[in-house]
């Protein structure tokens, strides 16, 4: 199994759970982290670049001949607050590279080996922002995730008949490292406290009935289920994880 963006927060939670359930896990990111469990292989690479994705794909093909499970989890936003007019061409480019094209490139590189075996699982981590964009700071990220969800659906339609099961997970507000950094940026931009910025973010999403964001470990459970034989008939779905008003954890299969 290859999981991108593994050393931090939600990715790390997925790595820990999948390894505990018997998977041989390889993960990748720009920087290594101390919290990865022993036995997890790490490839250092910047997947926001063509060269980075190529180096990871080449390493996986050379050492393992491919993977049975690919979880495209890398992504995030470093954009400042200030709305759409604060987003430069470079910020848009960065968002598209890390949140869309990294997955496209890795899929394209690793799909042929899956097709040769007639089996494989690909999971894309999108975001609830693909339909509920936060224009103040993450519009480019939201647009890239919307494109990823659309791309994933098309990929599922093409390769499902050939044995490749492809699904998308769209987390809502998860208390992750990236979310904490975004809260700090919103607080600085609005000259408010982190607590006030966190509450403002929850309200901008329409409120969260249980009064808290989701946890990385909760998303990891969903990913592990979709990667397991228990989800053998779930294909082409987008599972929305975290309940907002009128929403529940759901998976709608195409």
Distance CA 208, CA 138 (A): 19
Distance CA 166, CA 89 (A): 31
**Has 151 been annotated as catalytic?**
no
Residues 6+ positions from 190 with CB-CB distance below 8 Å: 81, 196, 197, 200
Residue 58's CB is within 10 A of a number of other CB atoms, namely 12
Distance CA 249, CA 4 (A): 24
Options 98, 141, 148, 222, the catalytic residue = 141
Residue 243's CB is within 10 A of a number of other CB atoms, namely 15
What's the token pair of residue 234?
A: 């779930």
For residue 26, the surrounding DSSP H or E stretch is strand 26-29
For residue 53, the surrounding DSSP H or E stretch is helix 50-64
Q: Which are the catalytic amino acids?
A: 141
């Amino acid at each position: 199994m290859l999981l991108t963006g593994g050393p931090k927060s939600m990715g790390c939670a997925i790595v820990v759970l999948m390894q505990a359930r018997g998977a041989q896990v390889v993960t990748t990111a720009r920087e290594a982290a101390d919290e990865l469990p022993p036995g997890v292989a790490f490839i250092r690479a910047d997947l926001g670049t063509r060269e980075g994705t190529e180096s990871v794909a080449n390493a996986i093909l050379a050492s393992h001949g491919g993977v049975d499970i690919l979880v495209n989890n890398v992504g995030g936003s470093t954009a400042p607050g200030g709305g759409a007019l604060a987003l430069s061409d470079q910020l848009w480019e960065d968002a598209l590279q890390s949140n869309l094209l990294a997955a496209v490139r890795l899929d394209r590189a690793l799909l042929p080996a899956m097709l040769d075996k007639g089996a494989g699982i690909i999971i894309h981590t999108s975001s609830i922002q693909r339909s509920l964009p936060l224009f103040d700071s993450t519009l480019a990220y939201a647009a890239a995730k919307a494109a990823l969800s659309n791309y994933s659906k098309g990929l599922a339609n093409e390769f499902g008949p050939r044995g490749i099961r492809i699904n998308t997970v769209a987390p809502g507000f998860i208390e992750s490292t990236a979310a904490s950094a975004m809260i700090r940026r919103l607080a600085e931009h609005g000259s408010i406290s982190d607590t006030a910025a966190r509450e403002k973010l929850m309200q901008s999403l329409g409120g969260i009935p249980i009064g808290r964001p989701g946890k990385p470990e909760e998303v990891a459970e969903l990913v592990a289920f979709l990667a397991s034989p228990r989800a053998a008939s779930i294909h082409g779905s987008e599972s929305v994880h975290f309940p907002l008003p009128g929403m529940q954890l759901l998976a709608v299969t195409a």
